[in-house]
Amino acid sequence: MAGIFDREEGCAHHKCPELIGRSRESAQLAVVFQRSRLVTVVGLGGVGKSALVAEAAERVARTGTTVMAVDIAVLSGTEQVFQAIGRTAADQEQLLVVDNCDHLLAPAAAAVGQLLASFPGLRVLVTARRRLGTAGEQVLPLAPMRLGDAVRLLALRAHQLGVPLADDEEDRVTAGRICLRLDCLPLALGLAAGRLPDLSPRELLVQLSETGGSLDLAGLGPDVPCRHRTLRHCHGWSHEQCIAQERLLWARLSAFGGTFTRTAAEKVCQDAQLSRATVASAVNGLVGQGLLEHVNGRPELLRMPRTVQDYGAEWLARLGEETRLLERVLMWSRGLL
Ligand SMILES: Nc1ncnc2c1ncn2[C@@H]1O[C@H](COP(=O)(O)OP(=O)(O)O)[C@@H](O)[C@H]1O
Ligand SMILES: [Mg+2]
């Protein structure tokens, strides 16, 4: 079924989301989908996994292939997952989209595995915050948007809200800073644009610099799912999916304030609660969920997205470890650890 994802310009169908940028990622998705009947798009909440997959599915539907979709986010238990996914199967060439597997990853993985074994004509596209771990799965990690695309998205949303950005140097620079502050995360950009009827771009940037300022931007509207209402909800949802060691490490790594090496992470964050080996494996767990990203594709150098760091910093304070960790980061930077 090679070629079903070939990208066409424009998207006539009303349900197809109008994606900004992402042509490279769409092409990558097409390539991995030729290699496997099961592809999982993974990444941070709000990074645009569902939007990317919806656009890809739309293109498949236009070739005449049957496309079915299940949104796992609205389900509440294993039984519901099996029922919802099982109901979609058919003895024909078919694409099944299993969207937002975050909180019910294990049952979704089991149900998808069973269906793929039973129906040879079935192909499955999954979105989740981490991989399913099912045999034959190809994983496509989705990173945040490129800066130019992020600025275009912010400008488009502002325009749609009737408060277009001024076409001058100052607003362009401010928009760029807002996007960087929000890690070029499409969900965050949409939430930020929602403040522009009340705040100038410069005032918005100032608000975002305040503690928690990015986490509490609120999205309104009946269509916004609960986990996308604010970045606090969004990262909180990820936090719940983490194992205990990943949660603790997330908080501790926030003390670095940005970029660090794996070795630094291990030396600074290890103690009686987290052994050095546990830190190393929990780092991989966080990378697998997009909560840490490689800098310039270098496996040794890691970066925690800024809003993820804000969320972790709140936990660090709540755990009462802030001072101790900041001291350890300082000692590390002076070569004393
Ligand atoms: N490339 C894009 N262009 C325009 N809007 C986007 C893009 N990617 C994501 N969005 C919007 O950002 C929000 C979050 O995206 P979504 O796909 O739901 O994230 P995820 O599934 O990774 O949590 C949605 O409102 C979505 O429409
Ligand atoms: Mg999603």
Distance from the CA of 201 to the center of ligand 1, in angstroms?
Answer: 21
How many angstroms separate the alpha carbon of residue 225 from the centre of ligand 2?
10
Sequence letter at residue 187? L
Token code pair at residue 248 = 């603790």
Q: Which atom of ligand 1 lies at the shortest distance from residue 189's CA?
A: 12
Mean pLDDT within 17-44: 94
Q: How far is the CA of 278 from the centre of ligand 1 (A)?
A: 33
- The span from the CA of 310 to the CA of 305, in Å, is 9
pLDDT at 220: 66
Pocket lining: 47 vs ligand 1, CB cutoff 6 Å: yes
Q: Which two tokens stand for residue 312?
A: 């972790």
pLDDT at residue 5, rounded to an integer:
54
Count of beta carbons in the 10 Å neighbourhood of residue 10: 6
Query: Model confidence over 250-262: pLDDT tens digits?
Result: 999 999 998 999 9
Which ligand is closest to the CA of 54, given by its number?
Answer: 1
Calpha distance 268→134 (Å, rounded): 34
Helices and strands (H and E) in the chain: how many = 14, 8
Residues above pLDDT 70, as percent of the chain: 94
CB contact burial 240-249 (16+ within 10 A = b; e otherwise):
ebbeebbbbb
Sign of torsion over alpha carbons 73, 75, 78, 80: negative
Whose C-alpha lies nearest to ligand 1, atom 27?
A: 51
3.40.50.850, 3.40.50.970, 3.40.50.300, 3.40.50.12780: CATH of 23-141 = 3.40.50.300
Write out the two tokens for 34: 């030729």
> Is CATH 1.10.10 the classification given to domain 242-333?
yes
Longest Cα–Cα distance in the chain? 64
- State the pLDDT confidence band at 224, using cuts at 50, 70 and 90: confident
C-alpha distances (whole Å) from 138 to each of 30, 35, 141 are: 12, 8, 10
pLDDT, tens only, 263-318: 999 999 999 999 999 999 999 999 999 999 999 989 899 999 999 999 999 999 99
**For residue 17, what pLDDT band results from cuts at 50, 70 and 90?**
low
Q: CA distances (Å), 334 to each of 134, 257, 302, in order?
A: 44, 16, 19
